[in-house]
Structures are given as C-alpha cells and as structure tokens.
Amino acid sequence: MNIVTLVADNQAMVTDSLGHARPSEADRGVDPEILRHVPLFREFDDEQLALLARLFTVHHYRKHETIFREGDPGEKFYVIISGSVAVVRVNADGRETILSLLRPNDFFGEMSIFDTAVRSASVRTVSPSGVAHIEREDFLSLLERTPRMGRMLVVALAERLRSANALIASATTRDIRARLATLLLSLAERFGEATEDGTRISVRLTNQEMANMIGTTRETVNRTLNRLWDEHVIDMRTSRVVILQRERLQALVS
C-alpha cells in the first residue's frame, strides 16, 4: 500500500494559484492514535497511520446539531472521534425515524461515496461529538491501494445490516414490550457499561428518541419503561437507563 503517494498527491493539491501552501497539516489532521482504534484501519502500521491522519479534518459539533441532511451531496466519509450520532429519516408526515445510533470508532457516509448519489438519510449528534472526515477521492484511493481495508468495510457493513434487520423484524412482528426490550438489549450491547447492579446504557436518549427507533409514541415508551422499572427489570433513577435483569429482557424477545 502506498499511502505516501496518496498523501503527496493530496498535498500537491492544497496550494493556491501562487503556489503558496494552504492551512497547515496540523489544522486538518487527526491524532493517529485515534485512527488506530477504527476497525477499518486496524492493519495499518505506525507510519501508515501517521500519513493517513493527515488526510482527515476534525470538526466538533454541539448536541443535536446536524452534520448533513438527506438529499445533500455525498462528498465525505466520516469517522466518529467522540460522542454519538443518530442516522435519521423524516417521513412524509414529518415524523422522524432513527435508523441507527453510532459511537466512537464507527463510520458513516459510505453509501454516497460509492454510488455518487445524494445522502439517503440525515445524521445528527445525540451528544457533543467530534467527527473526522476524509474527502471522497482520498477515501476511494485508499480503498484501491488497500484491499484488506475493503474487506473489513464489507464485514462492518454486514454487521450493521444484521443489526438493522433485527430491529426491523422486531418492529413488525412483536408487541411494544418486546420491541422496547430488543432496543434496550441492542443499546446495552453497543453502549453498555458494567455497574454493580447491572449494565448502564451510556448514551442518553429521550423517550421520544426511543419511540422513533421502534415505531411508537413517546407516551407508550414512557408507560412501558415505567412498568419495567416497577418490575425491577431496569432502573431509571438517573438520566441513563440501567438494565438490572438482562435475562428478563431476553425472555421478552425470545
């Protein structure tokens, strides 16, 4: 893999008409140690990561800020550095559906990169977030030079599709308790933190956001969560749900 050539080509393009350098690499780079934890770049050595990091630009977003909207041109590939983001669609009646939640080291924006179509969904932050992006041509050049990275991308997309299929199946064939249980288990798998009492879901979601993920109303989610709390399946004394009895939730979806 010749990332050196890719970076050199990229740097040759960042000069103005007089041949003067544009903003420095430090202004547009990302810490290579951050990229080391991104599965797509797991096989890169120190030198390759350092060179790759120079192709990224980092932006910081406030909570509930939109990164891009459905219908926007797809010109960048994104990696989450910190925080969490939601991939959302807005229905014809104005209702929002949250398709997935992403955490640090996850990526998004790949679909439009490959087919040059506009964005098929919007992405907004769930919490204050740092997000790095790489331009489309640089990302495609990386894929051409790194076949193993392409294989790892396919694996990641397959895992994401399996998770989406599970939520869709739950939303279309199960009652509200089972759908909410499926969501809580999925969130615990991706955002769970072990506590003395159980598993705390580190990402903070409103009842409306949960409702948007399982196709119901905020009021229904509120009633169902309170019932699970009364049954000591979950604990909601803080702003983040703690799962006390995972096996009870699993029984609801089996």
Task: Give helix 207-214 / helix 176-191 axis angle, nearest 10°.
Answer: 110
Under 8 Å CB-to-CB from 240, ≥6 apart: which residues? 200, 201, 202, 203, 204
Mean pLDDT, rounded, of the chain: 84
* Phi then psi dihedrals of residue 82, to 5 deg: -150, 160
pLDDT in tens, 3-44: 545 554 454 443 333 333 333 333 468 889 999 998 888 888
Q: What is the mean pLDDT of residues 78-100?
A: 89
Q: What is the pLDDT of residue 25?
A: 35
Element (H, E) at 193: strand 192-194
At the topology level, CATH places domain 3-166 in Jelly Rolls (2.60.120)
pLDDT in tens, 163-192: 777 666 666 667 899 999 999 999 999 999
- Work out the percent of the chain whose per-residue pLDDT is above 70: 85
Q: What is the pLDDT of residue 167?
A: 65
Closest C-alpha among 60, 35, 39 to residue 48: 35
Enumerate the domain spans of the chain: 3-166, 175-253
In this structure, what DSSP letter does residue 86 have? Answer: E
Q: What is the pLDDT of residue 144?
A: 84
**Does the pLDDT value for residue 103 go beyond 90?**
yes
Domain 175-253 part of CATH 3.30.2310.20: no
**Does the pLDDT value for residue 212 go beyond 70?**
yes
Q: What is the pLDDT of residue 26?
A: 34
| Sign of the four-CA dihedral 225, 204, 99, 165 | negative
Please state the pTM of the whole predicted model: 0.77
